[in-house]
Amino acid sequence: MDWNDTAEQAGFRREVRSLIETRLPGRYREMAAHGGPGERAWEFDRKSPDPVARDAATAWHRALAERGWVAPHWPKEYGGAGLTAMEQFILNQEIARSGAPHVGGSGLAMLGPTIIMHGSEAQKQKYLPPILDGEVTWAQGYSEPGAGSDLASLQTRAVRDGDDFILNGQKIWTSGAHAADAIFALVRTDPEAPKHRGISFILIEDIHAPGITVRPLIDMGGRHYFNEVFFEDVRVPVANLVGEMNRGWYVGMTLLDFERSNIGGAVGARRSLERLLAVIRADPELRARVNASPVRHEIAQRFVETEVMYQFSLRVISIQNRGQLPNDEASMSKLYNSELSQRIAQTAMQAMGLRGNLLEGDESSAARMYIGTVPATIRGGTSEVQRGVIATRGLGLPRG
């Protein structure tokens, strides 16, 4: 098995590195040196009251747009880069290594491909250009208080009234909704149908429309990252339905984004360990204590596991590169990475001792890392769900 770049891939990698070296704003370089900008940094900077943050978001988007790399997985006919699977892998790998933020958010990664596959021509012309230009960002309205892992149990209702739907209900864990301009949602349009068959996919163009309330949810680390969203008699044009009525479950499950390899997770795990080692090496007393304790071997084991994670990523991208769609392999990658992130955080806490309990400092502090990984095995599909996928689709075992 040879994972070395071909001559063409090596040339593309140099091109990506050159762009990052010359165009990545100083704000993101500084953030990368202290734990990274975090998820959705570009989206939050785009709406920040700080002009430096807004300028950084604009400059980084412009740098990627000039190369056509804002939407690497979109077809060229819709303004994307149309990159091959390996080119997308290299681009995402180098962005992850630099600690640079991704641009576009859920609108770019999820809604755009969904509209390209299922949307009308009018919807493509209306919604894709503002997403690509960074003018509009979208939040994802899927999860509800009683519908998380069992998403098909969602209860937010959309009742047709002439040329409109009237929405009532609640979404929760809505990442970045407070910085979004719009929200796409799965809603129940036929309560009498089997739960997977009475759902529709709709676009709510203005997240600040009358009847919509976005309420912040503060996580254990004091971070405002996600929200709960309430809909009370919200009118949405029927023209905003994507795909067929009551077939929204299949629309919502569309995934054209080739970044299923989770190379960002593999690179991020290694960066976390390297930051931990830098802290240990900079403190002679801490270094001596770690060298004399079993935690030294744990750190070595975590390094081995990051390499395993990297191989998971390469396996997935090799499948995509053959024109196939990874299934249980993507679940293996997600499961391993989410649990690895928690093991790395636990090892960091042990290495730092009592100092590891301090939340003060930047995002690279052991305590913040530990708290930040708590939801890793829940969000994006719980570990139990991933194991079920691996068992049934990968191993062919019967459903329980």
| Among 94, 144, 259, 329, the one annotated catalytic | 259
21 counts as catalytic: no
CB 186 within 8 A of CB 198: no
User: Which of 137, 87, 143, 147 has its CA nearest to residue 112?
Assistant: 137
DSSP 329-367: HHHHHHHHHHHHHHHHHHHHHHHHGGGGG---SSTTSHH
Q: Which residues pair with 227 in a beta bridge?
A: 216
3-class SS at 303?
Answer: helix
Q: Which residues contact 288 (CB under 8 A, 6 or more apart)?
A: none
Compute the distance between CA of residue 196 and CA of residue 118 in angstroms, rounded to an integer. Answer: 18
Structure tokens at 60: 């980084």
DSSP 304-319: HHHHHHHHHHHHHHHH
- Known catalytic residues are 259
